[in-house]
Each structure stands twice: as C-alpha cells, then as structure tokens.
Amino acid sequence: MKTELISLTLSELEELAQSMSQPKFRGKQIYEWIYKGAETFDDMKNIPKDFRQKLSEQTYIGAVKICEKYVSDIDETRKYLLELSDGNFVESVLMKYEYGYTICISTQVGCRMGCKFCASTIGGKERDLTAGELLSQIVCVQKDLGQRISNVVMMGIGEPLDNFENVLKFIELVNAPQGLNIGQRHISLSTCGIADKIRELADRKLQITLLISLHAPDNEKRSKIMPVNRKYPIEEVLSACDYYIEKTGRRISFEYTLISGVNDSIDEAEKLAVLLLGRLCHVNLIPVNRVEETGFQKSAKQGINAFKNHLEKRGIAATVRREMGSDINAACGQLRKKKNRENT
C-alpha cells in the first residue's frame, strides 16, 4: 500500500526521505510543498526528478481538490465540495468574522450516527477521513482564499469522536509551528455525545473547545431525534462533560437545534435550564436548516427569542447562531448528496 504523505509530521517526512536514501532536508522540502497546496509531485520543482519518480511509485500526496465552490453575495461565506484521492466527496465551509477566517471541516465521508434532522447521515458512513485529509481541507481552502485561516471547527460531515485517532493526529499536525501553526484554542470539536471518547479526550488535556449536540432536554425526546442517545443517554454525556471541564478548565458549549413543534417549547427551555444549571457552559441555539428528506421546520423567530430569553432568565448564557451564506444555503451534507446522485 502506498504511503499518504499529507498525514505525516515534518519529522516523519524527514525519516521517510532518509529511508529512501535521500538527505533529511528533502523531507522538509516535501513538507513545504504540501503546505503550499501542491497536488502533484510535478509541482515540487526543487526535488530531483528521479526522486519525484520514486515518490510517485511508493507514495501519494493525499491532497483534496476543489470540485465545486459557491460564494455568498451577502457575507462572503464560501462552500466547497472537495474531492478526495479515492473519488469520494466531502464539504468545507469558510466563514469571515471580524477576527479572521474560520473553516468548518468534515471528519468522515458520511456519518453513521443517524440524527433525524441531519443531511450528512442519510446514506450512512462511507469511511473515515485520514488526519491528512482533515488538514488538507484547510490547506486547499487557504490556497484558494489567498489568506490565512485562523480558526477551525470540526462541524462538517461526520462524527469526529467516531474517528478519534485521526482527529488527534490532525490536531497535532495543525498545531505544528512550521506548518499551519493554528493553536488548540482556535480549534473546536462538535460531537453528538460519545461519552467514553469525551472522557478520553479530557485525559489528553488538550485546550480545544468542545461543543456538544444536545438538541433535546430529556432522554425520550433525544433518543427519538438522535439514536446515539440510546447508547449514551443525557446523564452519561453530562457526566463526561463535567469530567472534561474538571480536567481542562475549558467551558463547554451545548448546541440546541430548534425544530418547530419538536423541541422548542418554553417547557423544554425550562427543562434544559434545569439540566445545565451550575455548569460552566454556553448554549448555541441553531434554527434547524431545511433538509428535504426530513420535513422538519424552523421555529418562528418569536419562539426562538422566547426560548433564548427563558434560558437567560434562568442564568444560562445563550446565543442564537447567526445564519451565514443564506443565499448559498445547502445545509451541511447536501452538496455531497447531490453530487452522489449525479454520479449514479
């Protein structure tokens, strides 16, 4: 099997060069090309031709390529459909804030968690992304943008804690000062609540921001819209969160997608407040994005505000997520789904 270069650290690339009878600095040269967004060995001009030939026989870069791109006229949000080296597709979204650019990346091709409101999980999971493919989404979009991306959120297609080892390696890669040099405090990970992995993550004592997709305040309702709740019910998720806060000192954010008539009553806001009271946390309220297959509807603006005000009245900090790129709005997972339909 060929080695994927983009998943390697600088020192691993240097070792690889040496194992192929080359001086150590060739590893650094390859590393620099990869981080400049080289897609083929032909791009690597300062590497001797015969070594490039050998590299292409034994290795591949593993970089993602832009297949489709949509730019919002409203707020410059960009959505990308990216092609992987095996012909699969994932999506990344780039958002512009006052403090810089944030990229939302995918962690798996598809997803096996089965959340009822989510487009990414409809066809199940195809495969995990490698650490390099996680990184490559940033390198590729940054090259297209021509400016530095300063923040990363793992909130695209897939469940990051269902691809645990690759996500950890990715965090190491993305931190590297000679590479993208993005600090852990600029990285966020969103999970549907795989409690034992949240604990494992806490034990690593990383400084990343953790977001938990809660979406319902009791087990009966949560299991209906998020099947993962049958395995990891709310008490277990929250107890793992407490452990995370204790180990890392980091505040946790809870995501709560508001779906009209499903989880958006004041009664539910009250239950949510009772659940979270006393925790170092913040609630992100997300008006549900329309996904054709699900039939779920957004809550009315008034209802959303009332839900938020109730949480705040009970002492829970809450914000309603600003909709970005609404003119190019294809909820996460929809571009890939459309592409797969065209290809079959």
Q: How far apart are the first and last CA of the chain?
A: 28
Distance of alpha carbon 224 from alpha carbon 284, whole angstroms: 21
Catalytic, out of 104, 140, 281, 332 = 332
Can residue 194 be called a binding residue for ligand SAH (CB under 6 A)? no
Q: For residues 7, 8, 9 and 10, what is the CA-based torsion angle, rounded to 10 degrees?
A: -130
Options 166, 229, 257, 299; binder of ligand SAH; rule CB under 6 A: 257
Options 225, 291, 304, 318; binder of ligand SAH; rule CB under 6 A: 291
What's the full length of the chain, in residues?
344
68 is catalytic: no
CB atoms within 10 A of CB 58: 13
Looking at 16-24, 266-274, 285-293, 335-343, which segment touches ligand SAH (CB under 6 A)?
Answer: 285-293
Collapsing DSSP states into helix, strand and coil, what is residue 336? Answer: helix
Q: What tokens does 109 get?
A: 């091709």
Nearest to ligand SAH of 151, 191 (CB atom): 191
- Give the shortest CB-279-to-ligand SAH separation in angstroms: 18
Can residue 289 be called a binding residue for ligand SAH (CB under 6 A)? yes
Cβ burial of 339 (10 Å; 0-12, 13-18, 19+) is middle
Can residue 134 be called a binding residue for ligand SAH (CB under 6 A)? no
Q: Are 231 and 114 in contact (CB under 8 A)?
A: no
Catalytic, out of 4, 91, 159, 268 = 91
Q: Are 234 and 219 in contact (CB under 8 A)?
A: yes
Options 4, 126, 133, 255; binder of ligand SAH; rule CB under 6 A: 255
Binding mask 59-98 for ligand SAH (x = CB under 6 A): ----------------------------------------
- Give the shortest CB-269-to-ligand SAH separation in angstroms: 18
Q: What CA–CA distances, in Å, run from 22 to 26, 45, 60? A: 7, 16, 17
Can residue 105 be called a binding residue for ligand SAH (CB under 6 A)? no
Looking at 84-92, 139-147, 164-172, 284-292, which segment touches ligand SAH (CB under 6 A)?
Answer: 284-292
126 is catalytic: no
DSSP string, 247-300: HH---EEEEEEEBTTTT-SHHHHHHHHHHHTTSSEEEEEEEPPP-TTT---BPP
Q: What tokens does 234 get?
A: 């709310």
Phi-psi region of 161 (alpha: psi -120 to 50; beta: other; left: phi over 0): alpha
Options 4, 14, 128, 159; binder of ligand SAH; rule CB under 6 A: 159
Collapsing DSSP states into helix, strand and coil, what is residue 265? Answer: coil
Distance of alpha carbon 40 from alpha carbon 42, whole angstroms: 5
DSSP state of 296: -
Options 155, 206, 318, 328; binder of ligand SAH; rule CB under 6 A: 155
Nearest to ligand SAH of 30, 198 (CB atom): 198
DSSP string, 243-255: HHHHHH---EEEE
**Unique residue bearing structure tokens 């597709």:** 89
Can residue 192 be called a binding residue for ligand SAH (CB under 6 A)? yes
- Give the shortest CB-100-to-ligand SAH separation in angstroms: 21
Looking at 57-65, 111-119, 179-187, 335-343, which segment touches ligand SAH (CB under 6 A)?
Answer: 111-119
Q: Are 179 and 12 in contact (CB under 8 A)?
A: no
Looking at 113-121, 165-173, 272-280, 311-319, which segment touches ligand SAH (CB under 6 A)?
Answer: 113-121
Can residue 229 be called a binding residue for ligand SAH (CB under 6 A)? no
Q: Which amino acid is at 163?
A: N
Options 331, 338, 339, 340; binder of ligand SAH; rule CB under 6 A: 331
Chain residues that interact with ligand SAH, rule: CB under 6 A:
115, 117-118, 155, 159, 190-192, 213, 255, 257, 286, 288-289, 291, 331
Which are the catalytic amino acids?
91, 332
